[in-house]
Structure 1
Amino acid sequence: MTSRPSFKLFACLYPFGAGAAAVNVFFAALIGSWLGWEVLTPQISVLIGAFLGVPVTWVFACHIKKLMEQADSK
Structure 2
Amino acid sequence: MKPSWTLLLGLYPFAAGAMGVNLFFASLIGSWLGWPVLTPWHSALGGLVIGLPATYSFACHITRLMEQADKS
**1:24 positional shift:** 0.6
* Unaligned residue ranges in structure 1 (runs of 5+): none
* Unaligned residue ranges in structure 2 (runs of 5+): none
Which of 52, 55, 65 is the equivalent residue of 2:53?
A: 55
- Residue 19 of structure 1 is matched in structure 2 by 17
Which AA in structure 2 matches 1:31? I
- CA-based RMSD of the aligned residues comes to 0.5
**1:46 positional shift:** 0.4
- Deviations 1:13-34 (CA, angstroms, capped at 9, x unpaired): 0011111110110000000111
Q: TM-score, normalised by structure 2?
A: 0.97
Moved >4 Å (runs of 4+): none
1:1-74 aligned at under 5 Å gives the runs 3-74=1-72
Distance 1:24 1:6 in 2: 26
Distance 1:60 1:8 in 2: 13
What's the secondary structure of 1:25's corresponding residue?
helix
What's the secondary structure of 1:47's corresponding residue?
helix
Q: TM-score, normalised by structure 1?
A: 0.95
